[in-house]
Amino acid sequence: MLELKTPYTFSGVPYLTNDCLEEYAEALVADFAPERLHTPGQLDVDKLIEFYLGLSVEFHRICYDRQVLGMTAFNDGTIDVTNEVTGLPEPLPVKEGTIVIDTSLTAKRNVPRLRFTMVHEGAGHWLLHRKAFSADNPFGPAGIYENQYLAAKEGRMDYSRSNKDKTDVDRMERQADFFASAVLMPRPALRNVYRDFFNFYHDKPRRIIRGTSVLDDCYAQQLPEYAANIFNVSKRAALIRLEKLNAIVDKGWPHCCYR
């Protein structure tokens, strides 16, 4: 397994730019499934989590309001899950290296979200944030949770567009979101999807600028759906990934280009 080499904050949260996360994600995909780095397709998430990373996955009703869809156990301990019959919380013993996924994600319509959450927890939190949640780290952010064994994926739509971190937890969630997206939609493979999309319309690949033409507005709607179907992610996840790479921008966006 590839080791993350990066400086850390005093509380054990890694300093990672988006470029660093891109490079780490590409190295991970190249090591785990090299054919997926350049050839667009669906990454085998189950194999990545259970065989490559050596983690175990359990499905339980974490909470009924879907505010928490997944958890990562960094140490042995217990978590509270919801009893499916009574609706009451009950303790669940968990071992280090266990990912707990909410059962609501097992519905067929939620498969893209399930895949994203599994990679967010396993490839994201497990690879990036074990130091922060180490049992012997008295200065880490783990204490913000009711028990100090877990990081949690809150019920947001895929991952935030924001780059602003108010807390260590914000930073970790953003890092795990960005990293999961980069693993599921590696930049080299996504470039090929981008080119294929424009080739289908006999158009030259270029940045899509919303608000400048009907054509670009149509492209901005169609490209994320096209990419989502290829990588088996949600359309929203594909859209935000393309926005993060400046492939789709709004009118008035000042500079840079999609690489």
In a domain, 11, yes or no: no
pTM comes to 0.89
Q: Are residues 203 and 232 part of one domain?
A: yes
* pLDDT value at residue 158: 43
Mean pLDDT over 215-233 rounds to: 98
End residue of a domain, out of 143, 166, 184: 184
Q: Are residues 153 and 29 part of one domain?
A: yes
Q: Are residues 160 and 60 part of one domain?
A: yes
In a domain, 7, yes or no: no
In a domain, 54, yes or no: yes
* pLDDT value at residue 153: 46
* pLDDT value at residue 259: 43
* pLDDT value at residue 257: 46
Q: Are residues 83 and 63 part of one domain?
A: yes
End residue of a domain, out of 184, 199, 232: 184
Q: Are residues 171 and 87 part of one domain?
A: yes
In a domain, 78, yes or no: yes
Mean pLDDT over 187-198 rounds to: 97
- Which of 16-20, 82-86, 208-212 is predicted least confidently? 82-86
| Residue 172 or 63, more confident | 172
User: How confident is residue 156, by pLDDT bands cut at 50, 70 and 90?
Assistant: very low
Q: Are residues 59 and 149 part of one domain?
A: yes
**Whether the predicted pLDDT of 147 surpasses 80:** no
SS3 6: coil
Nearest CA among 77, 79, 179, 168 for reference residue 126 = 179
Q: Are residues 217 and 157 part of one domain?
A: no
Number of domains forming the structure of the chain: 2
| Residue 45 or 163, more confident | 45
User: Rounded to whole angstroms, how far apart are CA atoms 72 and 53?
Assistant: 13
Residues 239-253 have pLDDT tens digits of: 999 999 999 999 987
* Percent of the chain's residues with pLDDT above 70: 86
* Percent of the chain's residues with pLDDT above 90: 63
Please give the full DSSP string across the chain, using - where no structure is assigned. Answer: -PPP---B-TTS-B---HHHHHHHHHHHHHHH-THHHHS-----HHHIIIIIS--EEEEE---TT-SEEEEEESSSEEEEEE-TTT--EEEEEE-TTEEEEEGGGGSGGGHHHHHHHHHIIIIIIIHHHTTTT-TT-TTSGGGGSSSTTEEEEES-SS--S----SSHHHHHHHHHHHHHHHHHS-HHHHHHHHHHHHHHTT-----EEETS-HHHHHHHHHHHHHHHHHHT--HHHHHHHHHHTTSEEETT--S----
| Residue 172 or 164, more confident | 172
**Whether the predicted pLDDT of 152 surpasses 80:** no
Q: Which residue has the tokens 């012997």?
A: 136
In a domain, 202, yes or no: yes
Q: Are residues 96 and 151 part of one domain?
A: yes
Average pLDDT, the chain: 87
In a domain, 122, yes or no: yes
* pLDDT value at residue 22: 97
Q: Are residues 146 and 28 part of one domain?
A: yes
**Whether the predicted pLDDT of 238 surpasses 90:** yes
User: How confident is residue 161, by pLDDT bands cut at 50, 70 and 90?
Assistant: low
Tokens of residue 44, six digits: 């085998």
SS3 186: coil
In a domain, 32, yes or no: yes
Buried b (16+ CB within 10 A) or exposed e, 165-177: eeebbebbbbbbb
Q: Are residues 239 and 199 part of one domain?
A: yes
| Residue 191 or 253, more confident | 191
**Whether the predicted pLDDT of 215 surpasses 50:** yes
Q: Are residues 61 and 161 part of one domain?
A: yes
**Whether the predicted pLDDT of 138 surpasses 90:** no
| Residue 153 or 228, more confident | 228
Q: Are residues 221 and 120 part of one domain?
A: no
* pLDDT value at residue 239: 97
End residue of a domain, out of 149, 184, 219: 184
* Structural Rg of the chain based on CA atoms: 19
Mean pLDDT over 141-170 rounds to: 56
In a domain, 257, yes or no: no
SS3 92: strand
Residues 6+ apart with CB under 8 A from 104: 61, 66, 69, 110
Regarding beta strands 208-210 and 248-250, do their DSSP bridges make them parallel or antiparallel, or are they unpaired?
Answer: parallel
Domain extent for 32: 18-184
